[in-house]
Structure formats: structure tokens, C-alpha cells
Structure 1
């Protein structure tokens, strides 16, 4: 799939996104720097090589990108900034996992570091499941630092996208997921703006987003995912890059947010240089698209591992809309544990 318009770029390379191919292109083009924030998780994983080879990363530094990806170090940053997050611990063996589980209490969300689309994530409810999953995980991804979170059952999930220049933060959108917390954000129906969060919760999200964006020294885009339980907001994770929701919000609000963010990454502009004027009317719903008909043997239950292959946008005037009512009524229909 080519998602870059031919009118936008001077050149398009049809190459696998592997380091060897990227490095050949860099040697040929000799760019001033490379932007990794707009290539999803795959591009972020190349940042370490860019840093090692002395190639300038435009925008948020490799150090900050790596900190956000390392789930243990990121949780420490949250603690240092008084940002609530689910109780957690980092393990590297199944024995450590079983010991840690005694303090965390089940259910537990198992999350490996540096993975794409929630790969290997699972909610476990007892020691047997935990041991089995961690053993398999470390066999598939040797040496991975695995994060165990106490899973917040029946929580609401939301996410915020923002542009930051290292000093100033502009939140471009806050979306509320229709499905309960624990479903991968790519598989959730999500509503912009939020439809059921209190002003208190929204303010907590705004305050926390500002804190994290500044603490990570973000220069460009950042996406932060939250779990809300009993009116308290917990941080699940932060992605210091453009998430799948950025083009969605840009389309819904008719604002060129990626254009703004790119100018910030290049150092040409500050957030305060832009006149943000989102065209807000009604609600926009992000609807996941699945390809189960092409993969008939895939388990159709939804959980922390992403299964959608795309998304659509659906506009409604108000929450009385039949489409919203239908999606909301089916929010727990396909849940796995």
C-alpha cells in the first residue's frame, strides 16, 4: 500500500523497510536528517540504527523514543512525574513473573517491549496461564524485557494525540473507545470528541498529556493511551509518533496536523506559531476494518493483540444516531479475555 501522495513527495522508493535498504537510500540521497515519527512502529524500530550510524533524527530524540518504548523505564518516568499508572513490574524469566504476580494480583496484562500491534500481549488470570505465556513469549522474543501490569478490569479506554515543540503542547484530539479497556486501540471503535467522560476526567487527561509530552522532550507528535476507572485516569502507554488516529483527527477536524507537526520536527516552527482552528461538528467514529473472511482460521475474538487491517470514518450528528447505538450495544460482543 502506498499512502504517500505522488503530489506530496519528490520521490517514492518501493523498498522493504529493512535497515539495509533504508541505509542504501540514505547514502544515495544524503538527507539533512530522517523523520521516523510518520512511519509507525516499524520506523521507530529503525531509530536505534540511525542513531548508531550518526544519522540525524528530526524531531523527538532517539533517547526519548527508546525511553517511551522501554516499558519499564517509561513507567519509572511516570512515577517520577506523579502520573498514575497500573501497578507493574518488569521480568525477564518465568520465575520472576510468578514471583511478581504475588504482588500485582490477577488479572495481569503481559506486555513485551518493542513490539508491533500488541504482538504477544495477553491478559492472564492465574499462575499457570502466566507461566505458559511468558515461557512462550521469551522463546519467540529472546532477551525481551516483559512488563506485567495489574489489569484494570471494566475500565474505559481513551487516547489523546498532541503536537509538542519541547516546551508547548497542543492537544489535537481526545478520543473515547466504545469497547472496554483491554481491546487493542486499533481494533476499537473510538469516538471523537469523547462522548461519556466527565469534565474531571478530561482535565486529568489534558494535564497528564502535557506532563508526559514535556517530560519526554517531545518534538513533533505523541499519542498517549489511558484507562479510566472510578473517575481516575491511568496511563497505559505513550507513543512518541504519529498514531493511526492523527490522520483520522485531521480529517474529522479539517486541520493539517501532520503538516504542522512536520514543521515542528524540522525546527522551523513552534506550536504557538499555528492558528489551530478545528471545525468541530457532531461526532466522528473510527471504525476498525477486519479481514476475517480472507483469514478464516484466525480467532475472531478481540483482545490486546491487534487484528484489524484498516479503518473507516463515520460521521454522526448526535449520540441518538442508530449507527452509534448499534456499535455501543455490541461493545462486548467479540471480547476475548
Structure 2
């Protein structure tokens, strides 16, 4: 067995590997950059080695530094996690040369499956269903248009060395093909240093389903069921589940057997994932093979009962797989939500900063894989993932309900995050029914995410919680006034809860176990031990368990519940009446400014002072987390002032230029 494992990664995946290694009695080594000096994975490891500046190109991606860290600490094996060097054959060579075990597949599998063009050819030879397309390298934009016309729109342009949704564009016509080729090429150059692009038919109403395979060095290859990863945004997975609510057993077996055939074709060892796209008729086609552990591996672990990291370690140590295909069973249902530091109300732009408050949910069937802690920093240098929230249930409905409750209880402050959006997806009727495609988010939120779009099963919950919280505030004020002579007064118990322009009269009374609230001729019995200042209002309301995040604001209360974000004011009847006469103050007109929508790097400035621009014309490109974001003019105008230059690091809402 291996004695000491260095994890050539950071964040939650490094913590995840350390947890299994420690369970197995194996010593651990972390590596860290300047930005990660105080990161959780550094504290979890037995030893830690500093490997350079914050930029990954100067730290986590420098092969020589990782190898030297192994030699300095005596690590006899490296687990690469995912991303960074996990699918880099040169890294594999360097470890081999140093006599260090790579916990992953061999070089042949990494090289052949890491290139999407080569992998498709191998898959075809192995008898795996493949999507029609052009598997040679596309020369330029005109060549892309010519090929696409032959295949027939829509098409998908993909970076050959791509992954993680980077270097991918869907083109519905010739103009989108030209623009998509340029964007995909730029992202491929930035992310992978490889500009090769290929094109394939874009499957409409697609579902993204992947098969987890595991193979050892003794000729044994098995598949451990499937994961459905159809809920995606910009080709990045958002929610994953196992098993798929779509597949039948016969199709699952076909996909599994084809995946194992592909693994055998490249002498695969370790954990790997074969990704497929399936259409509405359950036809499925090969997309790619990821020669590493996947982000979404926990859902497979929960439904199979297997620790995939432990299996990877044992295979790397030369052991045989401890189970055969007949031993693999799928029990229950698992869901995973990717919690990101991003603002869903501003087109999901990345968010950075310190986690001022951070509390993970707990409970039956709840698992959190994270690499952060309260007071820690979310850096602009790396992926914005905060954590993976995973829930398990006896069936899909239970797994979904547990996920909804866990999201309600996940408390993050200091950075923007996507929890409201995740919960909005979970409670969406179409998601609950399992009617998924990779276009789900684009179809259901075509104009972006707005919490007002979230359908609440009982809108009154937020109203009665706001009323109860306000009553407790008033009762405390009344109690304090009783200690001041001449200022005694009893607390009122009749209020009007205002949400936007809607006014809802309520009556509130304290009870032995909480509150009684009368709203719209209905009684709400609230049993709770909530006290002022607690961020989570956890209660039983008419027998239903709820958890509402609540904050006191200058204007009232802000509540977060099941994907909705509600700003509520609780006023006396007279104040509510007078509020209808308040004048509306419109927000400042910022239309003459081009603002950076996120923290990021200004990689392109396409205009200069005095230049005339037309609506839709590209003005600048801001890069964040290796993704390019093109900023375009919303109307015709003339540039009056340019306040930024290419290469500037921008803050959110920082002015880039001003129009006349």
C-alpha cells in the first residue's frame, strides 16, 4: 500500500482526497500558492509545501514544483484531483521519471482520451455510438462555416483540448459560426494553450448522461451506473443526480458496456467517466472520456456505497478491484448542487471576497464537500466553486426535498452566491417531474434569473415569518421601555406586511411554543425557539418544518426561502396607509457608462476616445475564471472618455469608459 500521498490540487477536492487517505492510514501532503496559505486543505494535510505565487500558471500548473515537493516530503504517490495537471501526460512522465506513483490512468489513456478528435476515432473503432461531425482540425472561420453547412445547423464548435465548458460554442447559423469559432479559439488558447477546434452536430432536446467506470491493472473493468448532468449553464454542470430519471435498465446496460469497451481499448486503469448525449428517443452518442475523478463523483458513491477515491488508491497500489460487475447495485437516489461564488442576479458574474459568515447544513442524508471555512477568502485566481452540496434519499422525491431543506439552511455571507438559484431549480415543477434537457435553464430563465419567477408552494410562509420576527422585536422594545419611567407602552399586535406593492394585514400573538399569526382569514401556528439575531428562522408552521434565512435591514426584513428572496416591511396600519403616498425615487441613470459586470481582467479594449459606436458593437472583453465576457454597446453613441487600459484588473461596477 502507498505510504504518503501528495494531492496536486486545492480546495474541496484536495480535502476530499485527504479524508479518504486518512481513513486508510496514509500520510498526506498539501501544496499551496500564496493565495492559499491559509486554505482549509493546507490545515487538513499532515504536511504542506509552498509552491509559488497565486497565479496557477506559476504554482499549481508547474510540474517541476510538484515533483520537487514530492521529493522533499518523501511522498510516494500523487493524486491530481481534477483540473490543473490531472490530465497532463507530461506530468505523468515527470512522476514516472522520479519513481512516484500517479493515482490515475496510464499515459496512453490520458493522451488518447484527452484529445477530443483522437478519442472520437478510438470510440468509433471500439463500437461506441458517436455524433456525426468533422473530426479533423478546423483551419479557420471560413472553413468552420463550410463544414457546418455540410453537417447542417445547429452545430457545436469545441476545443479539442477542452473541458469544463471552456472553448465551446453553439452556432445556429453562419454568423454565429464565425463568431463562435473566434470565441472558442480564444478561450481554448487562454485555458489550454491549444487552439484546435472541431465541429459536430448539435443534438436538440439533449440530455447529458455519463457512465462512471473503474478499472484495475489486472484486466478488470466495471461500470458503476450513470449520472444525469443535464442541468447546465454555459455548458457547465450545475446539478447532477444518480441514477438518471430518464434511462431504463436496457439503455443503462448498453451505455455501460460501451463505456467499458472504450476503457479496454486504451488499457484504462483507475476511475474514469464516459460522457454521452442522449436525445428524446433515448438514442445516445459519445461526447468524451474524462480520465480523472469527476466533480460529481459523490452521487455515484452514495447510490453504490463505494468510495471512488479509495478504489483509485488501491488500483494505483497494484491491487485488484474488490468487486465485479455483478456486485454493483444502485440503491436510493442522490443529488448534487454546485455552490458557486457568483451573482445569479447579475448574469452569474463571479464574486470574490471573504466569507464573513459561513455555516454548512447538516442532517440525515446531507453531505457537504467543501474547501472553505468562515473567515476564509474566495480568490479571483481560481474556480469560483465554494462547495458541493449532496443529498441522499430512498427515492428521487426524498433526495430533492432534502436538497431544498439543505439549501434553505446553507448560510453564506460576504460573497454573492447561487443558492437561491439552485433552490429555484429544485422546486421548479419541470425539474421535480424529471423533464430535463441541457437547455433547461435557457428555456425556463430566458431573460436571466429573477427570484420573483420562483413559484412558492405557500407564499404566506415568508409573510408570517416576517410578522413573527417583527413582533419579537416589538416585544423586546416594550420590555425595555418598561424600565424607563414615563415611557412604558404595550407592544402592538396588528400589522401590515408589505412586499413590493402588496399589503397583507396580520395579527400576531405570542404563545408558549412560539407565535400565532392570523393572515387572510387563516391561522398559522408557529412553533420555534428562534431568538433575535439568529440568521436562520427554523420552525414548524402548521406542522410543516421550515427554515427561512432572515436579515434585518434599514427598511425591514430580507428573507430567503426556497429560491425566493423577499424584501418585507412590517408597518402599523397608519404607516402602511401613508406609505402609498411616498414619492418614487428613480435610480441614477448609468446608461452612459460601460461598467465591468464582475471582478476580472480587461483583456481587450476595442474602442478609443472620440470613436463612434453602433448598437451591438463590441466595446471590451473582460476575462474572469478563464471565461471571456464580451461587453457590447446597448445603443449608438460616441466614446467621451476611456478610464481603463488593457491588462487592468477591474472591480465589479468599475467604469471602463463613458459615452457623450
TM-score, normalisation: structure 2: 0.45
Q: Partner of 1:12: helix, strand, or coil? A: strand
What does residue 624 of structure 2 align with? none
How much has 1:220 moved relative to structure 2? 0.5
Residues 1:175 and 1:10: Cα distance change in structure 2 (over 3 Å): closer
Answer whether contact 1:183 1:335 (CA < 8 A) is retained. no
What does residue 128 of structure 2 align with? 83
Match of 2:146 among 72, 94, 99: 99
How much has 1:70 moved relative to structure 2? 0.6
Match of 1:48 among 78, 87, 90: 90
Max radius of gyration: which structure? 2
What does residue 112 of structure 1 align with? 159
How much has 1:172 moved relative to structure 2? 2.2
1:100-153 residue CA offsets vs partner (Å, 9 max, x unmatched): 112221111111133342112121111111111212333451652212121111
Residues 1:333 and 1:85: Cα distance change in structure 2 (over 3 Å): closer
Aligned equivalents of 1:11 and 1:319: distance in 2?
38
What does residue 63 of structure 1 align with? 108
Work out which structure has the larger RCO, using CA pairs closer than 8 Å and 6 or more positions apart in sequence.
1
Aligned equivalents of 1:307 and 1:150: distance in 2?
31
Residues 1:256 and 1:199: Cα distance change in structure 2 (over 3 Å): closer
What does residue 303 of structure 1 align with? none
What does residue 233 of structure 1 align with? 284
1:209-267 residue CA offsets vs partner (Å, 9 max, x unmatched): 11111112111011111111222221111111111122332244432222122211222
What does residue 285 of structure 1 align with? 335
Equivalences for 1:312-327 in 2 at 5 Å?
Answer: 312-321=389-398, 323=401, 326-327=427-428
Q: Partner of 2:213: helix, strand, or coil? A: strand
Q: Partner of 1:243: helix, strand, or coil? A: coil
Match of 1:329 among 430, 436, 442: 430
Q: Partner of 1:122: helix, strand, or coil? A: strand
Match of 1:23 among 67, 74, 79: 67
1:43-75 residue CA offsets vs partner (Å, 9 max, x unmatched): 224432442683456342222201111111111
Match of 1:264 among 290, 315, 329: 315
For the pair 1:158 / 2:231, whether they are aligned, the reply is: no
- Once structures 1 and 2 are overlaid, which stretch shifts more, 130-139 or 287-296? 287-296
How much has 1:278 moved relative to structure 2? 6.6
| Structure 2 unaligned residues grouped into runs of 5+ | 1-10, 33-50, 52-58, 351-382, 404-425, 447-660
Residues 1:98 and 1:219: Cα distance change in structure 2 (over 3 Å): same
Aligned equivalents of 2:313 and 2:326: distance in 1?
15
Aligned equivalents of 1:195 and 1:326: distance in 2?
16
Which structure shows the bigger proportion of residues in strand conformation? 2
Answer whether contact 2:208 2:276 (CA < 8 A) is retained. yes
Q: Partner of 2:146: helix, strand, or coil? A: helix
What does residue 260 of structure 2 align with? 210
Equivalences for 1:191-202 in 2 at 5 Å?
Answer: 191-202=241-252
Answer whether contact 2:128 2:258 (CA < 8 A) is retained. yes
- Once structures 1 and 2 are overlaid, which stretch shifts more, 160-169 or 146-155? 160-169
Report how many aligned residue pairs link the two structures. Answer: 327
Aligned equivalents of 1:275 and 1:63: distance in 2?
24
How much has 1:298 moved relative to structure 2? 3.6
Aligned equivalents of 1:156 and 1:275: distance in 2?
25
Q: Partner of 2:342: helix, strand, or coil? A: coil
What does residue 570 of structure 2 align with? none
Residues 1:168 and 1:67: Cα distance change in structure 2 (over 3 Å): same
Answer whether contact 1:60 1:219 (CA < 8 A) is retained. yes
Aligned equivalents of 2:111 and 2:247: distance in 1?
31
| Structure 1 unaligned residues grouped into runs of 5+ | 301-305
